Amino acid sequence: MSKIIITANESDQRLDRFLRKYLKTTSLTEIYKMIRKKDILVNGKKAAESYRLKTDDEVEIKILKQQESFSSIVPAGRDFKITFEDKNLLVADKPPELILHPDKTHKEDTLIDQVLYYLYEEGSFDPEIETTFKPAAVNRLDLNTGGLVIFAKNYPALQELSKMMRNRDIKKYYQCLVKGFFAGEKTYKAYLDKDTEKNIVNVSEDKKEDSKEIHTKAKALKTNGEYTLLEIELITGRSHQIRAHLSSMNYPIIGDKKYGQKEANDYFRKKYGLMHQFLYAYRIYFEDAPENLVYLKGKSIETKLPSIYSPIIKELFNG
């Protein structure tokens, strides 16, 4: 028998979704069966699968198979920098080559591992107390893209920040170096579809089956006629959007091995030691915010570009 008192980090979740996270090795079918048979009660009574949990609700699980711990802390390094932190969120500055979440080839010491371990060490997150919540990233960056990643430190903040991201109340700005001359400020729209087998995306002006609309703003910061340093505002946040969209318009990002130009990449690798794409998520702006996070409204969070980019900018654009 197990009794769980719902906290703010679990409230407002459907009962079945909460149980799916808590009973990690139990199938959803088995969970529904346990609810029907009253092996799972809420405040001593049978509850519907769709019941939304409230703070201080007591969930009683009468039959509980041995479960692995929901939360486990893996000791990890700290390759990220903290750009901003308060009780609700942490904004991490992720270096290129540090993956956000584990995948088939990167299973340990990910950014999420490092952030969780940092929060555990400084006392903001205790897996022994939490039942289903872990601090989570609100936005994502590719492995080879560095920059700002927002982490929600509690469940209400995760809900609000995710909603703000969907409503585009959080503006995301990048700097990138492209081959080609670009002047002024322009807005581009197109359609993107993904080839999952090759892990690449294709951009076209015409809508195709399963394609999604993309929206990108580009502004020239510096140019020498051959290369341009751009500021990109990402309106829609599709996979590989900036890299593929710019490449489709003949503005390949320097250092991009997938969508870039090999000759230019080789030149910058040999001359400057640039081993990854020159693309960095350097600024986040909170255009609007709900009541619980209203203090973020109008706030801008920025980080400096990594030092490896400095000699490139200085030499190409005379500082």
210 catalytically annotated: no
CA 285 – CA 300 distance, rounded (Å): 4
CA atoms within 13 A on the CB side of 103: 6
Choose among 91, 154, 95: nearest CA to 299: 91
The length of the chain is 319
Which of the 8 DSSP states describes residue 193?
E
Choose among 136, 142, 110, 122: nearest CA to 237: 142
CA 259 – CA 41 distance, rounded (Å): 54
Which of 142, 193, 256, 288 is catalytic? The answer is 142
Backbone angles phi, psi at 34, to 5 degrees: -65, -40
228 Cβ contact list (under 8 Å, min separation 6): 177, 178, 180, 181, 182, 220, 221, 222, 251
Per-residue tokens: 233: 């505002």
Q: Residue with structure tokens 């270096």?
A: 95
CA 120 – CA 122 distance, rounded (Å): 6
Radius of gyration of the chain (CA): 23
103 Cβ contact list (under 8 Å, min separation 6): none
Q: How far is CA 23 from CA 6, 10, 57, 87, in A?
A: 15, 14, 18, 28
Yes or no: say if 293 and 88 are a contact pair by the CB < 8 Å rule. Answer: yes
What are the catalytic residues?
A: 142
